[in-house]
Amino acid sequence: MTVTLPLVNGTSYSTINAYSKDLLHETVKFYENVLGLSSREISETSYILSNGAVTIKVVLSEDSTKAQEHSKRVEFFSKNQSSIDWRTAASSATVFNSADICSVRQKLAASNSPTQSFPSELNPLLLYSIDPLGNLFGVTATKNAISTKPTEKVEESHKKRDLTSKLGSYTDLSSQLATSVDYPSLPTKLNPNKAEKAIAVMTSGGDAQGMNSCVRAIVRSTIFKGCRAFCHGRLRRFSQGGPEYIKEVTWEDVRGWSAEGGTNIGTARCLEFRQREGRLLGAQHLIEAGVDALIVCGGDGSLTGADLFRSEWPSLIDELLKTKKISSEQFNRYQHLNICGTVGSIDNDMSTTDATIGAYSALDRICTAVDYVEATANSHSRAFVVEVMGRNCGWLALLAGIATSADYIFIPEQPAVAGQWQEEMCNIVSKHRAHGKRTSIIVVAEGAIDCDLNPISAKDVHSVLCELGLDTRITTLGHVQRGGTAVAYDRMLATLQGVEAVNAVLDSTPETPSALIAINENQITRKPLVDSVALTKSVADAIHAKDFKKAMALRDTEFIEHFNNYMAINVADHAEPRLPVDKRLKIAIVSVGAPAGGINSAVYSMATYCMAQGHKPYAIYNGFSGLARHESVRSLSWKDIIGWQSRGGSEIGTNRATPEEADIGMIAYYFQKYQFDGLIVVGGFEAFISLHQLEVARDSYAAFRIPMVLIPATLSNNVPATEYSLGADTALNSLMQYCDVVKQSAASIRGRAFVIDVQGGNSGYLATCAALAVGAQASYVPEEGLSLQQLSQDIKTLDESFKKAQGRGRFGKVILKSSNASKAMSAKQIAEIITAEAEGRFDAKPAIPGHVQQGGLPSPIDRTRATRLAVRAVSFIEEQQDVIKSARAADDDFVYEDKAVSATASVIGIRGTHVVFTPIRHAYDFEADIEKRMPKVIHWQATREIADYLVGRKRV
């Protein structure tokens, strides 16, 4: 039905202390009569008054002295009603908004309460009065404190909801929930027959970039699914403070949080919660606030405490009942506490998950810093010792070592040999210098040790390098690694894990073990929280016991693979090749398609790994057309590729010409001339077509009867047989930063939206992921097209959103439009349509980032994944040599139709939880839409639905 909104709104929550029982009851009646609040008794000593938009808690704290002081304050304000301005005499005041200030004044007059009106009694915009406790409160008819424009009366649909907990809702959520019926599907359907849950989220332990995105996703998913969302900032207040620290939050409270660093709800490490008394208080406060499910975003310590909290819950509430801290009704209502964990830790030290929230953002800070110091090191031929975080986990140091081609790294899982590491490090550094390298970068984890558990500090390393005669400097990054906003990957990871955490809570039963939300390869998964934490702690125990082999084995397989890759590519110029002479190969690499972040990293890693194995790496410069026209083949030496790991673009050149377009006969001739034993193609859909053409041409050209593998690299992420292509993360970060800037501009101007043109061809991957990362109001992609009905609905939603904003900050709007989403309407034309339809209420401007989206320096993810895929590609070529030789021996015409032979030409890709090789013939025939230059299966479709409902977008 349609009813008028509450008499007052604005200030969401306040707590008032009454110092006698008479004042308690008098105050409750006062706020009921004057502000139209409904009261609800929590206990004999406390009441909650609420109208759905405002909540006031009145608590009895008997103190006769303070009661007399408050009586004197009431008397003081009453006597000086016309002689002084109350605002100058009071230390604080609570101010509410009201569309009907005259009605409030009439109710105050009926209760004989003194008032002051501003600017005049006849037409007041601001009204002040005194409650029975002597507290000054105000009611304003303006939109904000400095506005002179009255608040308009608004009527809208309002559906009354039965609250499951005793703490009243601070705001009317019906305007947000009303859109839910327009969504075609939800990740988890809420059972309408079950009572709604009150889900609280808290951040604990050390802060990590992306925590805000996680909290935003949890809050909005909770509200969207008809539940109530609460936030709690830290375990310390959880166990020390009262339920007032557990605040119910609304849809708008978390607006814009994805672009902010740190954690807005606060975090801390709490010793009190390690004691049962602290957990007992925490249980009491949760029950008083009405919370029956808790999602914790923190490290292993926080999650350990959370799981212990759940296991103790039955005994905790039993003790609370016996001590009369909770009622029998509350005891029966809150029999179970469901807990779920998301891992926020820059160290990436949680077992069973490939990445924790904040880890890649911290790695990005490290790589940026190393790139900077290496530039100045190159000028002076200096050495730099860079200390990074990681007490018990060397992930940051290891990945930074790979991403920046560091000369040497120190990590706790693989400690240096006591008394020998100095000589070993100096030997490597000296050989690198002797081969022409002007800089030396040593990365030291803060938990670095030798095999006798003696700490190895940056100062220790500095002393050794100085004795070697190098001009050496120390750079300790410290909390810079935690600072700044999250990179795109962490925003997406945190958002998707937050959504999945809400799903896990809604799916859980009293018997369900606490879940940990993890990611494996490219897939969000659920793991038993207690097992993950126990496995994580066992790593530190193994290190302390000097069982370093076990410590490495307990790390996930990707960590071990990264370590082996680093060790392999770091010995390219000074160690004896691993393979015997008869096993050494000639392997070529070529780039096909548009530039993408990570191509140079793939070339560098392929070449250095080949050198370590004993193979001879070749680069085909300027693609297949460069080979056909100019015989642009060069062998790669270690000195030639110094620094390529961290460079953007493509140092060997690239273009879109396929072998057939370039002259496949000439390409076969040069393959035969150089006697290549294997080929690695790096690129996008053109590279996919190129590999297919070479595989088909095996029937005609014997030179192509060699193992060949494609490493997908394109910002479009449109290569079949993989869910991730190199360059997509770099492009996503560049687009995200661009969107953050224009969104800030839009927020400053208040009533403005930007329509941003996004590259990606016929793939909407980039637009979709950017929309999720920046909270875009809408995104249009080629897979769905752009209908006039949807555009009209989005304009209507924009209008509603700007009305709710009322000129407040953080309301910058962006709309992302893939270039091929509509051939009829460009970003500029869409902006013009929005501006025309808005009729002056707001406007829209186009923004075209263009090739900025290809990015500058490749992101750490693209650098390290390029290394991983390149090493696997070379290994694939090594492994397939026997298949090729057997096929040649069996038939001079080559067994072309044999599946094993066909599989020697494959695409390497990430699918779900695995890195897999897919034969190009199968991928081309069954998984590719050649006309649209797209895979047939859109693996990121579910991400679109999440991105839409997290911003309240209605779909037509």
Residues involved in catalysis: 347
Beta bridge partners of 907: 710, 918
Does the annotation place 845 within a ligand binding site? Answer: yes
Burial class of 194 by CB neighbour count within 10 A (0 to 12, 13 to 18, 19+):
exposed
Tell me how far apart the alpha carbons of residues 352 and 329 are, in angstroms, rounded to a whole number.
40
Does the annotation place 302 within a ligand binding site? Answer: yes
Tell me how far apart the alpha carbons of residues 359 and 362 are, in angstroms, rounded to a whole number.
5
Q: Which residues contact 143 (CB under 8 A, 6 or more apart)?
A: 97, 149, 151, 806, 807
Helix (H) / strand (E) element for 107: namely: helix 101-110
CA neighbor of 409 nearest in space, from 607, 567, 604? 567
Residue 755, by phi and psi: left (phi above 0), alpha (psi -120 to 50) or beta? Answer: beta
> What radius of gyration do the chain's Cα atoms show?
32
CB 888 within 8 A of CB 705: yes
Cα dihedral 426→432→438→442 (10° resolution): -50
Does the annotation place 301 within a ligand binding site? Answer: yes
> H-type helices in 241-394, by residue range?
276-289, 300-322, 328-333, 359-380
Beta bridge partners of 273: none
Q: Tokens 């207040």 appear where?
A: 237
Helix (H, G, I), strand (E, B) or coil at 920: helix
Does the annotation place 436 within a ligand binding site? Answer: no
Expressed in percent and rounded to 5, the helix, strand and coil fractions of the chain are 45, 20, 35
Does the annotation place 785 within a ligand binding site? Answer: no
CB 723 within 8 A of CB 955: no
Does the annotation place 874 within a ligand binding site? Answer: no
Does the annotation place 64 within a ligand binding site? Answer: no
Does the annotation place 310 within a ligand binding site? Answer: no
Does the annotation place 330 within a ligand binding site? Answer: no
Does the annotation place 761 within a ligand binding site? Answer: yes
> H-type helices in 18-82, by residue range?
21-35, 64-79
What are the counts of helices (DSSP H) followed by strands (DSSP E) for the chain?
Answer: 32, 34
User: Angle 493-498-501 (CA atoms, 0-180°, nearest 5)?
Assistant: 125
Does the annotation place 161 within a ligand binding site? Answer: no
Tell me how far apart the alpha carbons of residues 460 and 465 are, in angstroms, rounded to a whole number.
9
Does the annotation place 300 within a ligand binding site? Answer: yes
Does the annotation place 479 within a ligand binding site? Answer: yes
Tell me how far apart the alpha carbons of residues 307 and 420 are, in angstroms, rounded to a whole number.
43
Does the annotation place 759 within a ligand binding site? Answer: yes
- How many other CB atoms sit within 10 Å of the CB of residue 545? 12
Q: Which amino acid is at 228?
A: R
Does the annotation place 365 within a ligand binding site? Answer: no
Does the annotation place 116 within a ligand binding site? Answer: no
Does the annotation place 656 within a ligand binding site? Answer: yes
Does the annotation place 647 within a ligand binding site? Answer: no
Does the annotation place 482 within a ligand binding site? Answer: yes
Does the annotation place 282 within a ligand binding site? Answer: no
Ranges assigned E (strand) in 800-840: 813-818
Q: Tokens 């964990």 appear where?
A: 341
Does the annotation place 269 within a ligand binding site? Answer: yes
Does the annotation place 714 within a ligand binding site? Answer: yes
Does the annotation place 270 within a ligand binding site? Answer: yes
Beta bridge partners of 681: 590, 710
Does the annotation place 718 within a ligand binding site? Answer: yes
Does the annotation place 206 within a ligand binding site? Answer: yes
Does the annotation place 373 within a ligand binding site? Answer: no
Angle separating helix axes 557-569 and 395-404, nearest 10 degrees: 40
Does the annotation place 480 within a ligand binding site? Answer: yes
Does the annotation place 933 within a ligand binding site? Answer: yes
CA neighbor of 392 nearest in space, from 411, 416, 409? 411
Q: Which residues contact 274 (CB under 8 A, 6 or more apart)?
A: 305
Does the annotation place 716 within a ligand binding site? Answer: yes
CB 128 within 8 A of CB 138: yes
Does the annotation place 10 within a ligand binding site? Answer: no
User: What residues are designated binding site for substrate?
Assistant: 345-347, 382, 389-391, 446, 473, 479-482
User: What residues are designated binding site for beta-D-fructose 2,6-bisphosphate?
Assistant: 656, 714-718, 752, 759-761, 845, 851-854, 933
User: What residues are designated binding site for ATP?
Assistant: 206, 269-270, 299-302
User: What residues are designated binding site for Mg(2+)?
Assistant: 300
User: What residues are designated binding site?
Assistant: 206, 269-270, 299-302, 345-347, 382, 389-391, 446, 473, 479-482, 656, 714-718, 752, 759-761, 845, 851-854, 933
